[in-house]
Amino acid sequence: MKHLLDIQSIEVGDIHQILSRAKDFKDALASGRSCEDILSGKVIINMFFENSTRTLTSFQMAAYRLGAQVINWQVSSSSTKKGETFSDTMECVAGYHPDAIVVRHEEFKAPYTVKKIVDCPVINAGDSWRAHPSQALLDVFTMQENLGDIAGKTIAICGDVAHSRVASSNVEILGKLGARVHIVAPDSLLPNMSKHTHVETFNSLEDGLVGCDVVMMLRNQKERMEAADVPDDVEYFHAFGLTQERLARANEDAFVMHPGPMNRNVEIADDVVDDPVKSKIFEQMANGLPVRMAIFEWALK
Ligand code: CP
């Protein structure tokens, strides 16, 4: 049985298979070709214990586009509100034998707990600050569409790296695919990266963006910070916001990504988000659909 729990636990061959099928699905969606026979008869449950727009909507849409039926389990109306534990909730759902479970949870490695309880593929839609593997796959898909092979390319990941599961999974996947990474963060938001030989760290955008092919900005994950550590938005933008002037430090053809949700004019200036040439942010979000179709096919077929 295949699970997508994190990037560490999947083979490079599986990554290439998912990315290649995502391209097929993107072409099929563009041409209006139906893919609904692929998961016809399957039932998938989305269980999001944290808020989401992109990941939940695109997993739901991906399931429908492949012909599966979807249950969007809602934490706000669930019996967790009556005190039921996470593991008892999962035992209950396991008894209905879904064909796959997509789970987002604030606890470290929560999808591993789910995997131990259920008898179907488990897809991690983001746990704690640790892993967001489907995001990393769609990010790399977007990079490949714009750069071709990313081996040897340099990707800057900038901002609140310390609290970001997107950064963690991107560091893993970019290393597996032969890219170099510049981690650019204020000292207070910079984790220890010494175990990653493909990573260099910087504490200013002015230095960290030099030589980069892609600039990926991150939101300040205030929900995972101690109150005392939450930066002031205006000061943060002044010191660390991506402006056109700072972006000019990167390579001439460099483009900008952001996993969303964005805080405009905190980590990234409006005119960078909306730059019709440099910004691939909304294209990146849209790529969540074909990539998550490919993930479902990979896990369920
Ligand atoms: N990038 C991302 O995970 O966005 P959502 O929280 O909206 O799913």
Rounded distance from Cα 102 to ligand 1 centre (Å): 14
Cα→Cα distances 298→39, 47, 57, 65, 224, Å = 11, 20, 19, 15, 32
Rounded distance from Cα 210 to ligand 1 centre (Å): 28
Pocket of ligand 1 (CB under 6 A): 52-55, 126, 135, 259-261
- Looking at domain 134-285, its CATH class is alpha beta
Strand partners, 4: 123
pLDDT of residue 99: 98
Q: For atom 5 of ligand 1, which residue has the closest CA?
A: 52
Longest alpha-carbon distance in the chain: 56
DSSP string, 131-198: B-HHHHHHHHHHHHHHHS--TT-EEEEES--TT-HHHHHHHHHHHHTT-EEEEE--GGG----TT-TT
Burial per residue of 73-103, b for 16 or more beta-carbon CB atoms within 10 angstroms, e otherwise: beeeeeeeeeeeebeebbeebeeeebbbbbb
Q: Choose one of 48, 49, 53 to mutate for the ligand 1 pocket test, by most ligand atoms within 8 angstroms of C-beta.
A: 53
For the chain, what are the domain ranges?
12-132+287-300, 134-285
> How far is 186 from 157, CA to CA, in rounded Å?
12
- Tell me the H-state helices in the chain: 12-31, 54-65, 86-94, 110-117, 133-147, 165-176, 205-208, 233-240, 244-247, 270-273, 281-286, 288-300
Please state the pTM of the whole predicted model. Answer: 0.97
The answer to whether the 12-132+287-300 and 134-285 domains have the same CATH topology is yes
Strand partners, 301: none
Q: Choose one of 54, 218, 222, 295 to mutate for the ligand 1 pocket test, by most ligand atoms within 8 angstroms of C-beta.
A: 54
Q: Which atom of ligand 1 is nearest to the CA of 260?
A: 1
Q: Which atom of ligand 1 is nearest to the CA of 126?
A: 3
> How far is 22 from 280, CA to CA, in rounded Å?
17
Exposed, middle or buried, 250 (CB in 10 Å: 0-12/13-18/19+)?
buried
Length of the chain: 301
> How far is 226 from 117, CA to CA, in rounded Å?
32
Rounded distance from Cα 139 to ligand 1 centre (Å): 12
* DSSP single-letter state for residue 268: B
Q: For atom 6 of ligand 1, which residue has the closest CA?
A: 52
* DSSP single-letter state for residue 40: T
Pairing of strands 154-158, 43-48: unpaired
Rounded distance from Cα 50 to ligand 1 centre (Å): 10
pLDDT of residue 225: 83
Q: Angle, nearest 10°, between helix axes 165-176 and 12-31?
A: 110
Q: Which atom of ligand 1 is nearest to the CA of 132?
A: 3
Are the beta carbons of 110 and 5 closer than 8 angstroms? no
Q: Which atom of ligand 1 is nearest to the CA of 259?
A: 1
φ, ψ for residue 280, nearest 5 deg: -110, 20
Rounded distance from Cα 261 to ligand 1 centre (Å): 6
Q: For atom 4 of ligand 1, which residue has the closest CA?
A: 54
Mean pLDDT in each 10-residue stretch from start to end of the chain (301 residues)? 98 98 98 98 98 98 98 96 97 98 97 98 97 98 98 98 96 98 94 96 97 97 78 92 98 98 97 98 98 98 93
> Tokens in use for 271?
């005119």
Q: What is the CATH number of domain 12-132+287-300?
A: 3.40.50.1370
pLDDT of residue 89: 98
Are the beta carbons of 157 and 171 closer than 8 angstroms? yes
pLDDT of residue 231: 82
Q: For atom 3 of ligand 1, which residue has the closest CA?
A: 55
Cα→Cα distances 190→89, 194, 202, Å = 36, 11, 9
